[in-house]
Amino acid sequence: MNNCDYSAAQQRYASIGISTEEAINTLAGIPVSMHCWQGDDVSGFENSGSLTDGGIMATGGYPGKARNADELRTDMETAFKLIPGKHRVNLHAIYAETGGNKVDRNELSFEHFKGWAGWAAEQKIGIDFNPTFFAHPKAADGFTLAHRDPAVRRFWIEHASACRNIARHFGETLGKACVCNVWIPDGYKDIPADRKTPRLILEESLDEIFAREIDPALMLDSVESKLFGIGTESYVVGSHEFYLGYAVRNNKLLCLDSGHFHPTETIEDKLSAVLCFIDEVLLHVSRGVRWDSDHVITLDDPLIALAREIVWGGFIGRVHIGLDFFDASINRVAAWVIGMRNMQKALLQALLAPAVRLRDFEQQGRFTERLALLEECKTMPWIAVWEEFCERNGVPAGAEWINAVMRYEQEVLLKR
Ligand code: RNT
Ligand code: ZN
Helix spans in 292-381 (H): 301-312, 332-351, 355-363, 367-378
Query: 115 pLDDT band (50/70/90 cuts)?
Result: very high
Pick the residue whose CA is nearest to atom 1 on ligand 1.
Answer: 56
pLDDT digits (tens, 9 = 90+) for 338-375: 999 999 999 999 999 999 999 999 999 999 999 999 99
Pick the residue whose CA is nearest to atom 7 on ligand 1.
Answer: 56
pLDDT digits (tens, 9 = 90+) for 239-277: 999 999 999 999 999 999 999 999 999 999 999 999 999
Question: From the alpha carbon of 294, which atom of ligand 1 is closest?
Answer: 10
Return the number of other C-beta atoms located less than 10 Å from residue 172's C-beta. Answer: 17
Residue 47 clears pLDDT 80, i.e. is over it = yes
- The rounded distance, in Å, linking the Cα atoms of 54 and 231 is 8
Widest pairwise Cα distance in the chain: 67
CB of 341 sitting under 6 A from ligand 1: no
213-231: average pLDDT: 98
Q: Residues with catalytic annotation?
A: 183, 224, 226, 257, 260, 284, 292, 294, 324
Question: From the alpha carbon of 42, which atom of ligand 1 is closest?
Answer: 6
- Residue 223: half-sphere exposure toward Cβ, Cα within 13 Å: 26
pLDDT at 4: 74
pLDDT at 302: 98
pTM to 2 decimal places:
0.98
- The rounded distance, in Å, linking the Cα atoms of 321 and 131 is 18
pLDDT at 42: 97
pLDDT at 48: 82
Query: 2 pLDDT band (50/70/90 cuts)?
Result: low
CB of 27 sitting under 6 A from ligand 1: no
| CA–centroid distance, residue 324 to ligand 1 (Å) | 7
Q: With contact defined as beta carbons under 8 Å apart, do 253 and 320 qualify?
A: yes
Cα-based distances in Å from 11 to 7, 8, 17, 52, 89? 6, 5, 10, 52, 36
In CATH, which superfamily holds the domain spanning 3-415?
A: Divalent-metal-dependent TIM barrel enzymes (3.20.20.150)
CB of 287 sitting under 6 A from ligand 1: no
What crossing angle do the helices spanning 332-351 and 382-392 adopt, rounded to 10°?
120
CB of 224 sitting under 6 A from ligand 1: yes
- The rounded distance, in Å, linking the Cα atoms of 405 and 78 is 8
pLDDT at 401: 98
pLDDT at 1: 52
Site to probe by mutation for ligand 1, drawn from 40, 94, 144, 224 as the one with most ligand atoms within 8 Å of Cβ, is 224
How is the chain split among helix, strand and coil, in percent rounded to 5?
Answer: 50, 10, 40
pLDDT at 49: 84
Residue 105 clears pLDDT 80, i.e. is over it = yes
Per the prediction, the chain carries an average pLDDT of: 97
Pick the residue whose CA is nearest to atom 3 on ligand 1.
Answer: 183
